[in-house]
């Protein structure tokens, strides 16, 4: 019997069988359409590309990739992915499969984006399946009041308006299919051209945005998270916010589901007052979205210091960004580890079918250092009971050595420099150890400030010094004081907020939307993120945060002890600093840009990706920033922004993504657009100049952010405002008036009034001529009146 199951384009589920045996008898050639998966009340017409395949949007990608050519920086020139190899691809040589270094470099980009997308998508799938199990497939999805467009990315990409968990699941089916295709392209002997590898990376980045949006929509709808709430609660963060008198449960990772069962069990059994539950990385945000009394320890890089300081009476890990050796560190401080996710079972025994009290007994006695559990209810009970029993037993005992012990151990330092060579941030670890020989722990404490907690220095040290612990001990006085307020994740941006700011953003009068996302692989501590956000909020940009960056920005306090979240409103408006939530919430930032096109410009978004991306690229001055980008997820998040034409800046460690997307401001032919009103080709200024760029330092970040907010569609007023920020920051950090201002002046009215003389002089010197201000598009078919006709 051949049975086919398909979701039709209209999102009806269809079952087709040539012969079907049922309790009622045997039927031939059956075709059943099972209800409507999605209501058909949506009167928005379907655009040209619902559920695009891998190559459907290829021509759009190629347009972007022609303007923003990839600049590859291979980490090495070898490929060792198949048994034909290793192959030497240096300087134009080809591997046995025919691939060259450009192709291989683009393949690495695609591989990273695939991995990142897979991590989010698997998280999303788990979330949706779990919620369907809990609440049923017809459970309705919502982003709360004031949000009609509940899933702008999914609507744009798939043409589906997800109303229920069942719809969400159907959308994930589509995403999973696409990921399988883009992943398969990495196999030896499939794709060979750099531009098509890149196009596939864009595709999977777009799919990633859908997956993230569905994950967050599902958890917001079911778990009582703040729903598009600008006043999402301020929550306590930092080590000093933990109460040492309480049993402490530390949750690490990204998937909040297990932690919700822990919190539920604690509250059902009336022990909430006896425990602190705190999180590291995105689970931290999501537990506070579930219960504002939960606490945030800090970003991903704080795992080791917190565990070694001995706070955690139980460590619960779910998925993504967990230290893979967490069990070893936990053992040293006698903290049992509960692994809760199939992605990271940590080599622990699966005790799901065992009696709860037996499991607790074994954990508390130390018979087993940890367990793997898949039953959420059991996780809740085991974790809470274990924490309460461990608390008096452990007495918060950490593994940090005493200061005297550090001094004593330091005497044997071999001055081999291996610790420095291992440090990704080139910290003067050895010098700090030598100072410690004399009893001066100041330099070790200074290293702590710029340390990302990777412990590579320890692994390298021939004396097996626990150098990171030494730094943590040396800086004890600092982190023991560390307590700050962070705004919990608000979720999506309201349609009503978009109505207010859509026009000023598109006209350039709100000079830009800055999205700080991602990890904590900072080159010199996290202060840069705060200073950047503060400066641009002052300049009336809208500054949006998600993920670890959203925690880091809260760590800096003003003279009154207030964090940026306490000083600035959480609305989506000029001068605000808002936190959308965890990593998956960053899809709301793309969502906001899409909603501007839909709500303000009244463009159809249903299955209409290219037009909306073209709109955003030419009109919405959004800039993504990931100062500490580390993961493959950050790569796929960036890829999603690239396909929307939104530029992304990463910190210096981001060079290790090994490929930039660079525009050439000096090549006029690269900056041609169609004027949608006249159908003519028009040259515009280089804005945004680059699509992916790793800056060298904070100073470059400041100048480049302002510059990348420029868009062809800026009104004269908007352009003047954007230029004045660019000029001012350029003068501050580069020390002189930028030489390319004239290229951004289209008409006299674009000139910021106070800078008229200087700009006029520059215009004269460069033989400036007035230029038209087009209604810009890169897509010829979008010229009004059909003047275009495909391209």
Partner 1 sequence: MMRAEPWQSAEVCGPTKAQSIKKTAVVGALLKKAKHPLMVIGAQALTEKTRKKPMIDYCIELSTAGNIPIVATANTIKAFKEKGFDNAYSYGAMEITGRLQDHDWMVAPKKGPHDLVITYGYPYYMEWLMLSALINFSQHIKTVTIGRYYQPHATWSFPNLKKQNWNDALKEILTTVGGAK
HEC profile for 127-141?
HHHHHHHHHCCCCEC
Task: Output 525 or 688, the one with its CB closest to ligand SF4.
Answer: 525
* Contacts with ligand SF4, residue ranges (CB under 6 A): 79-82, 84-85, 87, 95-97, 99, 188, 413-419, 422-425, 427, 429-430, 433, 447, 451-457, 460-463, 465, 467-468
DSSP 8-state code for residue 785: G
Tell how strand 648-650 and strand 690-694 pair up.
parallel
Q: Tell me if 422 contacts partner 1 by CB under 8 A.
A: yes
Q: How far is the CB of 483 from ligand SF4 (least distance, A)?
A: 23
Which runs of E-coded beta strand occur in 564-722?
A: 577-581, 622-626, 648-650, 659-662, 672-675, 681-683, 690-694
The only residue of 85, 424, 428, 788 in contact with partner 1, by rule CB under 8 A: 424
Q: How far is the CB of 470 from ligand SF4 (least distance, A)?
A: 9
Q: How far is the CB of 615 from partner 1 (least distance, A)?
A: 27
The only residue of 241, 655, 715, 787 in contact with partner 1, by rule CB under 8 A: 655
Q: How far is CA 115 from CA 96, 103, 157, 657, 675, in A?
A: 25, 18, 20, 13, 39
Structure token pair of residue 489: 């994740």
Query: Using CB distances below 5 to 8 A depending on partner kind, what does residue 427 bind out of ligand SF4, partner 1, none?
Result: ligand SF4
Q: How far apart are CA 782 and CA 775, in angstroms?
A: 10
Task: Output 293 or 664, the one with its CB closest to partner 1.
Answer: 664
DSSP string spanning 188-247? TTS---HHHHHHHHHHHHHHHHHHHHHHHHHHHHHHT---S-TTPPEEEESGGGS-TTSE
Q: Tell me if 77 contacts partner 1 by CB under 8 A.
A: yes
Q: What count of Cα atoms within 13 Å lies in the side-chain half-sphere of residue 577?
A: 27
Q: How far apart are CA 281 and CA 304, in angstroms?
A: 13
Q: Tell me if 107 contacts partner 1 by CB under 8 A.
A: no
Query: Using CB distances below 5 to 8 A depending on partner kind, what does residue 437 bind out of ligand SF4, partner 1, none?
Result: none
Structure token pair of residue 700: 């470059």
Q: How far apart are CA 329 and CA 468, in angstroms?
A: 12
Q: Tell me if 574 contacts partner 1 by CB under 8 A.
A: no
Q: Tell me if 408 contacts partner 1 by CB under 8 A.
A: no
Which of these, 695, 281, 305, lies nearest to 520 by C-alpha position?
A: 281
Number of residues that bind partner 1 (CB under 8 A): 44
DSSP 8-state code for residue 72: E
Q: How far apart are CA 269 and CA 265, in angstroms?
A: 6
Task: Output 422 or 564, the one with its CB closest to ligand SF4.
Answer: 422
Computed over its alpha carbons, how large is the radius of gyration of the chain? 27
Task: Output 94 or 781, the one with its CB closest to ligand SF4.
Answer: 94
Q: How far is the CB of 74 from partner 1 (least distance, A)?
A: 5
Q: How far is the CB of 80 from partner 1 (least distance, A)?
A: 11
Query: Using CB distances below 5 to 8 A depending on partner kind, what does residue 97 bind out of ligand SF4, partner 1, none?
Result: ligand SF4
CA 598 to chain centre: 24
Query: Using CB distances below 5 to 8 A depending on partner kind, what does residue 69 bind out of partner 1, ligand SF4, none?
Result: partner 1
Ranges within 459-518 binding partner 1 (CB under 8 A): 460
Task: Output 101 or 247, the one with its CB closest to partner 1.
Answer: 101
Q: How far is the CB of 242 from ligand SF4 (least distance, A)?
A: 22
Q: How far is the CB of 15 from partner 1 (least distance, A)?
A: 53
Structure token pair of residue 637: 């998040």
How long is the chain? 791
Query: Using CB distances below 5 to 8 A depending on partner kind, what does residue 496 bind out of partner 1, ligand SF4, none?
Result: none
The only residue of 700, 755, 758, 766 in contact with partner 1, by rule CB under 8 A: 700
The only residue of 75, 240, 672, 761 in contact with partner 1, by rule CB under 8 A: 75
Task: Output 90 or 190, the one with its CB closest to partner 1.
Answer: 90
In this chain, which stretch among 261-269, 306-314, 433-441, 693-701 interacts with partner 1, using CB under 8 A?
Answer: 693-701
Q: In the chain, count of helices (H) and strands (E)? A: 28, 24
DSSP 8-state code for residue 775: -
Which of these, 654, 699, 403, lies nearest to 520 by C-alpha position?
A: 654
Q: How far is CA 509 from CA 184, 513, 539, 622, 736, in A?
A: 45, 11, 11, 13, 25
Query: Using CB distances below 5 to 8 A depending on partner kind, what does residue 660 bind out of partner 1, ligand SF4, none?
Result: partner 1
Task: Output 113 or 444, the one with its CB closest to ligand SF4.
Answer: 444
Give, to the nearest 10 degrees, the angle between helix 403-410 and helix 467-474.
140
Q: How far apart are CA 285 and CA 35, in angstroms?
A: 38
Q: Apex CA 536: angle with CA 531 and CA 537, to 5°?
A: 100
Q: Is 367 exposed, middle or buried (0-12, 13-18, 19+ CB in 10 A)?
A: exposed
Which runs of E-coded beta strand occur in 369-483?
A: 370-372
Query: Using CB distances below 5 to 8 A depending on partner kind, what does residue 95 bind out of partner 1, ligand SF4, none?
Result: ligand SF4
- DSSP helix/strand/coil, 22: strand
Task: Output 64 or 454, the one with its CB closest to ligand SF4.
Answer: 454
Which of these, 280, 303, 255, 297, lies nearest to 584 by C-alpha position?
A: 255
DSSP 8-state code for residue 508: T
Q: How far apart are CA 694 and CA 247, in angstroms?
A: 43
Ranges within 347-376 binding partner 1 (CB under 8 A): none
In this chain, which stretch among 167-175, 199-207, 377-385, 696-704 interacts with partner 1, using CB under 8 A?
Answer: 696-704
Whether the CB-CB separation of 214 and 151 falls below 8 Å is answered with yes
In this chain, which stretch among 8-16, 232-240, 442-450, 692-700 interacts with partner 1, using CB under 8 A?
Answer: 692-700
Q: How far is the CB of 398 from ligand SF4 (least distance, A)?
A: 17
Query: Using CB distances below 5 to 8 A depending on partner kind, what does residue 483 bind out of ligand SF4, partner 1, none?
Result: none
Q: Tell me if 647 contacts partner 1 by CB under 8 A.
A: no
Query: Using CB distances below 5 to 8 A depending on partner kind, what does residue 80 bind out of ligand SF4, partner 1, none?
Result: ligand SF4
DSSP 8-state code for residue 678: T
Task: Output 203 or 532, the one with its CB closest to partner 1.
Answer: 532
Q: How far is the CB of 668 from partner 1 (least distance, A)?
A: 15
Query: Using CB distances below 5 to 8 A depending on partner kind, what does residue 84 bind out of partner 1, ligand SF4, none?
Result: ligand SF4
Task: Output 22 or 91, the one with its CB closest to partner 1.
Answer: 91
Stated as kind and residue range, the H or E segment containing 251 is: strand 247-252
Q: Tell me if 78 contacts partner 1 by CB under 8 A.
A: yes
Q: How far is the CB of 622 from partner 1 (least distance, A)?
A: 20
Q: How far apart are CA 509 and CA 91, in angstroms?
A: 47
Q: How far is the CB of 432 from partner 1 (least distance, A)?
A: 18
Q: How far is the CB of 734 from partner 1 (least distance, A)?
A: 5
Task: Output 81 or 599, the one with its CB closest to ligand SF4.
Answer: 81
Q: How far apart are CA 484 and CA 563, in angstroms?
A: 7
Q: Tell me if 523 contacts partner 1 by CB under 8 A.
A: yes
User: Residues interacting with partner 1, by CB under 8 A?
Assistant: 69, 71-78, 88-92, 101, 418, 421-422, 424, 426, 456, 460, 523, 652-653, 655-656, 658, 660, 662, 664, 690, 693-697, 699-700, 704, 733-736
């Amino acid at each position: 019997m051949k049975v086919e199951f398909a979701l039709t384009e209209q999102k009806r589920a269809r079952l087709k069988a040539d012969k079907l045996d049922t309790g009622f008898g045997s039927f031939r050639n059956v075709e059943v359409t099972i209800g409507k998966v999605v209501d058909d009340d949506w009167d928005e017409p379907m655009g040209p590309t619902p559920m695009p395949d891998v190559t459907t949007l290829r021509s759009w990608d190629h347009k972007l990739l022609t303007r923003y050519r990839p600049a590859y920086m291979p980490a090495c020139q070898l490929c060792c992915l198949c048994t034909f190899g290793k192959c030497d691809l240096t300087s134009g040589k080809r591997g046995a499969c025919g691939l060259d270094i450009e192709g291989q470099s683009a393949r690495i980009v695609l591989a990273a984006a695939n991995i990142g997308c897979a991590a989010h998508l698997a998280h999303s799938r788990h979330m949706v399946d779990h919620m369907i199990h809990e609440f049923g497939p017809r459970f309705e999805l919502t982003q709360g009041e004031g949000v009609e467009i509940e899933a702008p990315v999914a609507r744009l990409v798939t043409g589906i308006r997800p109303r229920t968990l069942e719809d969400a699941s159907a959308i994930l089916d589509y995403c999973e299919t696409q990921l399988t295709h883009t992943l398969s392209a990495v196999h030896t002997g499939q794709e060979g051209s750099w531009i098509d590898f890149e196009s596939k990376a864009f595709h999977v980045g777009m799919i990633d945005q859908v997956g993230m949006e569905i994950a967050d929509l599902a958890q917001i709808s079911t778990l009582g998270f703040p729903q598009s709430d600008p006043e999402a609660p301020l929550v306590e963060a930092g080590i000093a916010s933990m109460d040492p008198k309480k049993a402490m449960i530390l949750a690490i990772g990204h998937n909040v589901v297990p932690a919700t069962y822990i919190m539920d069990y604690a509250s059902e059994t009336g022990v909430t007052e006896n425990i602190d539950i705190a999180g590291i990385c995105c689970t931290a945000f999501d537990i506070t979205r579930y219960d504002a009394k939960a606490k945030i320890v800090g970003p991903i890089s704080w795992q080791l210091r917190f565990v070694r300081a001995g706070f955690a009476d139980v460590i619960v890990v779910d998925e993504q960004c967990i230290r893979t050796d967490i069990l070893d560190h936990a053992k040293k401080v006698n903290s049992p580890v509960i692994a809760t996710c199939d992605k990271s079972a940590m080599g622990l025994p699966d005790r799901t079918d065992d009696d709860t009290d037996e499991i607790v007994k074994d954990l508390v006695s130390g018979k087993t250092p940890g367990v793997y559990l898949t039953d959420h209810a059991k996780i809740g009970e085991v974790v809470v009971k274990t924490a309460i029993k461990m608390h008096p037993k452990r007495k918060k005992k950490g593994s940090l050595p005493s200061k005297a012990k550090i001094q004593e151990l330091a005497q044997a330092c071999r001055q081999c420099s291996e610790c420095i060579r291992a440090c990704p941030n080139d910290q003067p670890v050895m010098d700090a150890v030598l100072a410690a020989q004399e009893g001066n722990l100041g330099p070790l404490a200074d290293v702590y400030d710029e340390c990302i907690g990777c412990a590579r220095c320890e692994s390298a040290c021939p004396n097996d010094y626990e150098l990171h612990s030494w730094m943590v001990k040396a800086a004890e006085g600092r982190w023991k004081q560390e307590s700050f307020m962070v705004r919990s994740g608000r979720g999506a941006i309201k349609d009503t907020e978009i109505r207010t700011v859509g026009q000023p953003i598109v006209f350039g009068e709100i000079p830009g939307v800055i999205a700080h996302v991602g990890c904590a692989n900072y080159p010199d501590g996290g202060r840069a993120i705060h200073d950047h956000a503060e400066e641009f909020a002052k300049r009336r940009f809208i500054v949006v945060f998600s993920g670890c960056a959203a925690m880091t920005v809260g760590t800096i306090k003003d003279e009154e002890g207030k964090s940026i979240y306490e000083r600035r409103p959480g609305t989506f408006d000029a001068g605000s600093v808002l936190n959308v939530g965890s990593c998956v919430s960053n899809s709301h930032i793309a969502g906001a840009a899409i909603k501007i096109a839909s709500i303000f410009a009244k463009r159809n978004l249903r299955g209409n990706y290219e037009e909306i991306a073209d709109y955003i690229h030419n009109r919405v001055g959004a800039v993504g920033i990931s100062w500490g980008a580390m993961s493959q997820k950050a790569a796929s998040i960036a890829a999603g922004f690239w396909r929307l034409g939104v530029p992304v800046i990463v910190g210096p460690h981001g060079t290790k993504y090994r490929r930039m997307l660079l525009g050439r401001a000096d090549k006029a032919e690269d900056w041609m657009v169609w004027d949608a009103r006249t159908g003519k080709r028009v040259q515009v200024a280089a804005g945004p100049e680059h699509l992916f760029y790793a800056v060298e330092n904070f100073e470059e970040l400041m100048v480049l952010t302002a510059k990348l907010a420029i868009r062809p569609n800026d009104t004269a007023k908007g352009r003047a405002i954007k230029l004045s920020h660019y000029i001012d920051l350029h003068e501050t950090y580069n020390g002189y008036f930028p030489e390319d201002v004239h290229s951004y002046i289209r008409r006299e009215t674009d000139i910021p009034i106070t800078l008229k003389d200087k700009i006029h002089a520059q215009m004269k010197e460069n033989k400036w001529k007035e230029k038209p201000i087009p209604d810009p598009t890169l897509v010829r078919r979008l010229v009004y009146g059909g003047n275009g006709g495909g391209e």
